[in-house]
Amino acid sequence: MKFIFDRNTWQEIFGSISKNKTRTIITIVGVLWGIFIYIALSGAAKGMDNGFEKVFESVSMNSMFVWGQSTSMPYEGFKTGRPMQLKLSDVTTLENRIPEIQNIAPRITLGNFGSDPVFTVRGQKSGSYPVNGDYPVYTRIATKKIFDGGRFINDEDIAQARKVCVIGERNLQELFEKDEDPIGQFIRIGDVYFQVVGVHKLSQGVSFDNDNAIFIPFTTFRKLYNTGENVDYFCIAAYDDVDVVQVEKDVKSLLRNIHRVNPEDERAFGSFNLGEMFTKVSGFAKGMTFLSLVVGIATILAGVIGIGNILLISVKERTKELGVRRALGATPKEVRSQIILESVFLTMIAGVMGIILGAGVLSIINSLTKDLDFPYTNPTVPIPYVLGALLIMVVLGTLIGLIPAQRAVSIKPIDALREE
Amino acid sequence: MIEIKNLHKSYQMGKNSLHVLKGINFSVEEGELVAIMGSSGSGKSTLLNILGMLDELDEGSYTLDGVPIKNLNETKAAQYRNKFLGFIFQSFNLINYKTAAENVALPLYYQRVGRKERQEKALKYLEQVGLKEWATHLPSELSGGQKQRVAIARAMAAEPKVLLADEPTGALDSKTSYEVMDLIQKINDEGNTILLVTHEEDIAHMCKRIVHLKDGVIVEDKKVDQVRAEQYV
């Protein structure tokens, strides 16, 4: 071990490497290319992964929607084609019976799914916008970024059925003057005046709502429009570690049970499973990461084998030199260590250069894709991957160096010195 | 200094065994300058290789400075070579990517001598062979005689007990040969023991003792009056 930390050893190795420049450069290029490909590929894959992640950042990744359609099978005396209406009471039943559900938000809307948007007025300005009746729990499933000074609908609003609303960025632009503070102002939605309590920001990625959606308390909505217990659809978020596809099946089967629908009737309730979508997309990104890892490591391997190959040839060239060294008193261990350390040293230099080059290319890719409308963010290679690659290189460098080193030692000094 | 008794050595050449050394008895005192002569195939190089621990003996004994040399593994042999012996080769065998000074310093590196001291010693020995100003030159920039003098400086640098020279003048013209021999004689004058293999009569007569080998046995071992190489330079 002392040998490795001896300054003299490194001077000897550095001398041997720096004075055979062509050999050194050719050797380095092989590994440099390998590690460069590895870093660039896995960084690019990571960038795509990050990009998808960002697209889904404002919604719960384990979420889904359920809505009522109409039955396609007769059951218990009911005819086929009976329209299904979700009820508020379903929420409690679902929560009690399906423990995998983390949050469940009943929603009711105007302006979506074919119904007319609501005509909204403020002073001289007006527009028609979708209006949603919501509970505060909705923000646990779809994050709503609210501009400073505002808030989303809270429990008090629900309890007292307050006439408050949260508007979108576009409502703000279309209904208010520039630089005007909307918080505390009143707007008329349909026939009723509402006080604005917050403005929500449009999220970049996947979102359930447009930037012109107006949110009012669910209880206010049902009083105004006389919808009673009716719910348009449920947003359901499952816990992180559960299988959303199974939860989706359970929810629909339970709803069929509550609403007295044939258990076989798949069409009575519609659903959309975001978790499943997300799993597919992130599975694709993970596949890319894995592929790039495999390709990268294979390229590194090829590069290291290249180093071994060149060292092996150079050992043949250097037979005489190594013979002289041994005649002058180099022990087989010293000769072997020198060849191996040369190999490891070259591998390391090439590796570090490749990492720097790869990082450079990633930063260029990053600056080029920054403003593109493309799911691609922050292409990085995690430090453990880099360290892992370095470790692989050192180990492979040592192993591959063993071959020429063993050959160098196996030639007897007398044979090495014999006249050619 | 060197004590050899009943030395036998044979090589396997396929099915045939070639008996090269057939019972050599031979000793060298400290400060001697011995020429080993013989036609090619007489076993002189084999003898030198065994003396240099580059080859192993089959039978007999070899004692160097009181240390029995037998059953050495490569590591031990390398250490002994480094400690006891200096080599001078016919084809110089300098390392071509190292400067003259670095070549001279190489045996010291394997003796774990520090870098500074290595450089100082290398320069000292280069000065002794008259090549101090060539210290930073590569072997390719030196003439044959200069290369051999660098090689001699390298052999001296480790301060060995015995210098072994295998046809040191074999690749040189006669004028340069005499220069090299002059240097070897001067080194011998300082009390160093030198063994020299040659097949040239004039070179052999510049030594103090000539040992004739023929077909693996010593046929003649005589002391001669040394011819000084100086007069030809």
ipTM for the complex shown: 0.88
Q: Is A332 on the interface with B (CB under 8 A)?
A: yes
**Cβ within 8 Å, pair B81-A329:** yes
Rounded Cα gap, residues B43 and B21, in angstroms: 6
Nearest to A53 by CA among A268, A368, A284, A257: A284
Rounded Cα gap, residues B211 and B204, in angstroms: 9
User: Considering only alpha carbons, which residue of chain B is nearest residue A333?
Assistant: B75
Count of Cβ atoms closer than 10 Å to residue B124 Cβ: 14
Calculate how close chain B gets to A308, using CA atoms only, in Å.
21
User: Considering only alpha carbons, which residue of chain A is nearest residue B89?
Assistant: A417
Q: How many A-B residue pairs are in contact by the CB < 8 A criterion?
A: 73
Tokens 């001669």 belong to which residue? Answer: B224
B-chain CB neighbours of A334 within 8 Å are 78, 110
A-chain CB neighbours of B87 within 8 Å are 327-328
Calculate how close chain B gets to A55, using CA atoms only, in Å.
59
> Across all residues in chain B, what is the average pLDDT?
90
Q: Is it the case that residue B150 has pLDDT exceeding 90?
A: yes
Specify the pLDDT at position B4.
92
pLDDT grade for A186, boundaries at 50, 70 and 90? very high
Which among A19, A326, A328 has CB closest to B97? A19
Segment B167-194 shows an average pLDDT of: 91
Calculate how close chain A gets to B96, using CA atoms only, in Å.
8
Query: Model confidence over A124-174: pLDDT tens digits?
Result: 888 999 999 999 998 888 878 888 888 999 999 999 999 999 998 888 888
Specify the pLDDT at position A300.
82
> DSSP of A265-312, one letter per residue?
-SSSEEEEEHHHHHHHHHHHHHHHHHHHHHHHHHHHHHHHHHHHHHHH
| Residue A142 CB burial class (10 angstroms; 0-12, 13-18, ≥19) | buried
Best mutation target among B46, B53, B54, B113 (most A Cβ atoms within 10 Å) is: B54
Q: Is it the case that residue A205 has pLDDT exceeding 70?
A: no
Segment A4-19 shows an average pLDDT of: 77
Tokens of A413: 């000094």
Nearest to A417 by CA among B104, B12, B88: B88
- The C-alpha angle A181, A183, A188, rounded to 5 degrees, equals 105
Calculate how close chain A gets to B72, using CA atoms only, in Å.
12
Q: Please tell me whether residue B189 adopts helix, strand or coil conformation.
A: helix
Give, as one character, the DSSP assignment of residue B233: -
Which among A330, A334, A414 has CB closest to B54? A414
Specify the pLDDT at position B162.
92
Calculate how close chain A gets to B122, using CA atoms only, in Å.
14
Segment A273-280 shows an average pLDDT of: 82
Nearest to A197 by CA among A164, A172, A173: A164
| Residue A200 CB burial class (10 angstroms; 0-12, 13-18, ≥19) | buried
Q: How far apart are the two ends of chain A, measured CA to CA in Å? A: 37
Rounded Cα gap, residues A3 and A130, in angstroms: 76
User: Considering only alpha carbons, which residue of chain A is nearest residue B86?
Assistant: A328
Query: Dmax over Cα atoms in chain A, in whole Å?
Result: 109
Query: Model confidence over A84-120: pLDDT tens digits?
Result: 899 999 998 999 999 999 999 999 988 877 778 889 9
Q: Is it the case that residue A16 has pLDDT exceeding 70?
A: yes
HSE, side-chain direction, 13 A CA sphere, residue B20 = 22
Which of these ranges, A59-63, B39-43, B76-80, B213-217, has the smallest mean pLDDT? A59-63
Segment A371-386 shows an average pLDDT of: 75
Q: Is it the case that residue B114 has pLDDT exceeding 70?
A: yes
The A residues from 6 to 35 touching B (CB cutoff 8 Å) are 7-8, 11-12, 15-16, 19-20
pLDDT grade for A418, boundaries at 50, 70 and 90? low
Q: Is it the case that residue B120 has pLDDT exceeding 90?
A: yes
Which among A11, A329, A331 has CB closest to B115? A11
Calculate how close chain A gets to B154, using CA atoms only, in Å.
9
Q: Please tell me whether residue B21 adopts helix, strand or coil conformation.
A: strand
A-chain CB neighbours of B91 within 8 Å are 419
pTM above 0.80, yes or no: no
Segment A55-62 shows an average pLDDT of: 76
B-chain CB neighbours of A410 within 8 Å are none
Q: Which amino acid is at A73?
A: M
**Cβ within 8 Å, pair B98-A19:** yes
Rounded Cα gap, residues B183 and B125, in angstroms: 12
Question: Is there a contact between A407 and A335 (Cβ–Cβ < 8 Å)?
Answer: no
- The C-alpha angle A326, A327, A333, rounded to 5 degrees, equals 20
Count of Cβ atoms closer than 10 Å to residue A24 Cβ: 20
Q: Which residues pair with A214 in a beta bridge?
A: A131
Specify the pLDDT at position B206.
93
Backbone angles phi, psi at B213, to 5 degrees: -110, 140
B-chain CB neighbours of A331 within 8 Å are 74-75, 78-79, 110
Specify the pLDDT at position A330.
87
Specify the pLDDT at position B141.
93
User: Buried b vs exposed e over B152-176: b needs ≥16 C-beta within 10 Å?
Assistant: bbbbbbbebbbbbbbbbbbbbeeeb
